[in-house]
Structure 1
């Protein structure tokens, strides 16, 4: 069953990645959206490796494996897309946005709390340390997703148009952490989490595309 779930995640990420390539790479598009599509592509490759690992070895081995680089890469792309120029458009570093910055810390703190809970249950070992590395990049990306959800909009509705994408990304980040946390629970809980991840992956690019179209309106 874990193999079926892993293949389902791979297929959903692949569909989203393929659609993103079709929509944003056949013509000249903003680097912002292309980076997000590359992030989905990394997620697809990471899930594909996990699927093949389960297929060959019969289980997903604990500790670090190449598939984790795919997950790290996906959130690194999401982080890079929002960090820098995009964030500077809405936050000039002035005290005016200090409250927003503080509130946005809630997202990485939740991710950190999830990892700490896992460590408290399983202790420090290769698996939890590897998960900690993944959680670091999930936390970095989630900070900007939440920040851009709650910060006031700028001219032309740029941030408002991307709130749907940032909400999906934030939900996906938390689901990725939950996927690990529910491993010891009844299997149907894992199924629910993975089905939700599949749903998010499938609507990622359409929601992003709808938001990007508003830039030109």
Structure 2
């Protein structure tokens, strides 16, 4: 009889969690992670998303990740945190080191979507760029316009964005509707528009390594 917490392998019985990977991820990355799972057949990767709005309070990301790891540790062979530093000042990395889990490298998702090396190479000449990903274009009002109070006080726009010169849309997929919306976002912010197709960048590389 095989117990519910065991699986039959070529070598015999093994705990059911063997080979299973849990991705604890920012909710802003859910669409991209699910797309990569489907495209690559990574059925052994499970996804648990934390609220995307935690980015508004980076200090809340760390306890949320710690709680998720503690709740799931016994059910998975590997847990991987799909966050970059995301404004935690290195504290998320320190927490992951303490918990014995790995995380995506990079300062933020704009960097790892572009590729951390490529993003760093542009940093000195592109410090007046404001970035949007596919997710942020879709959720521009909820994550940019309203939290900054621009829906109530549009006159604040130039105060917030006066030092920016352009909006860079880092496109993960080719979607004309998203392109049009991103260009509209640039117009609303009074910025020049640049579309840059990045694909999934280092996110794909990181998840492929975990999947192996």
**Above 0.5 in TM-score?**
no
Q: TM-score normalised to the size of structure 1?
A: 0.28
Q: Identify the structure with bigger relative contact order (alpha carbons < 8 Å, sequence gap 6+).
A: 1
More strand by share: 2
Q: TM-score normalised to the size of structure 2?
A: 0.28
More helix by share: 1
Larger radius of gyration: 2
